[in-house]
């Protein structure tokens, strides 16, 4: 597990570290970085329950996300207003002493959200459909399909640069 975390953060540092030429440009605008995850495993016992809690395994995964992302200094943590997403976001928000901000998954990446998050490092906890849709909206192209319902360990790291270009890397954390 420690090796996975080391590799993970090496990748992140490689993504976030500017080149020597960029370091010399003090006029450069900050990069916006979005960490997008789907909620952890939810209770499935009652198919009529539209707002289930996380299972024991889901609560453990939420803690694992907090561990995996502990070196990231988040400016904001967003979640849809569902038990499963809020419970997934809570450990990361607590690690960063942040309140969880609700977002409307129907709006996804609108101008207000884009302006509010510009130049910041943000975690967004969503769903199997909204997480890849948000990545696509940020990138300005349909690159990712919905996440398989059995997959709860996908992490999309999307960076938007000052020139408007964007890059996305998807990692899978067990």
The CATH code of the domain that includes 29 is 3.40.50.1240
Q: What is the pLDDT of residues 1-54, one digit of tens each?
A: 444 444 454 444 444 444 434 433 344 668 999 999 999 999 999 989 999 999
pTM given for the model:
0.84
- Domain with 165, as residue range(s), is 2-172
Among 25-29, 78-82, 103-107, where is mean pLDDT lowest?
A: 25-29
> For residue 1, which of 51, 68, 82 has the smallest C-alpha distance?
68
Our count of domains for the chain comes to 1
Q: What is the pLDDT of residues 129-139, one digit of tens each?
A: 999 999 999 99
| Mean per-residue pLDDT, 95-121 | 94
- Own/partner contacts of 89-92, CB < 8 Å, gap of 24 or more, are 89/62, 89/123, 89/125, 90/62, 91/62, 91/63, 91/65, 91/66, 92/65, 92/66, 92/123
């Amino acid at each position: 597990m420690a090796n996975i975390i080391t590799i993970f953060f090496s990748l992140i540092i490689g993504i976030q570290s500017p080149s020597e030429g960029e370091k010399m440009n003090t006029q450069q605008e900050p990069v916006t970085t979005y960490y997008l995850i789907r909620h952890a495993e939810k209770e499935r016992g009652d198919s009529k329950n539209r707002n289930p809690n996380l299972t024991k395994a889901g609560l453990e995964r939420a803690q694992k996300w907090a561990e995996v992302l502990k070196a990231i200094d988040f400016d904001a943590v967003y979640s849809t207003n569902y038990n499963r997403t809020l419970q997934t976001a809570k450990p990361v928000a607590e690690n960063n002493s942040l309140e969880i901000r609700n977002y409307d998954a129907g709006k996804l990446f609108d101008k207000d959200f884009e302006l509010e998050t510009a130049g910041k490092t943000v975690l967004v906890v969503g769903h199997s459909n909204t997480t890849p849709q948000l990545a696509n909206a940020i990138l300005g192209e349909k690159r990712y399909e919905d996440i398989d319902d059995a997959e709860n360990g996908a992490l999309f790291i999307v960076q938007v640069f000052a020139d408007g270009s964007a890059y996305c890397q998807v990692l899978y954390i067990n």
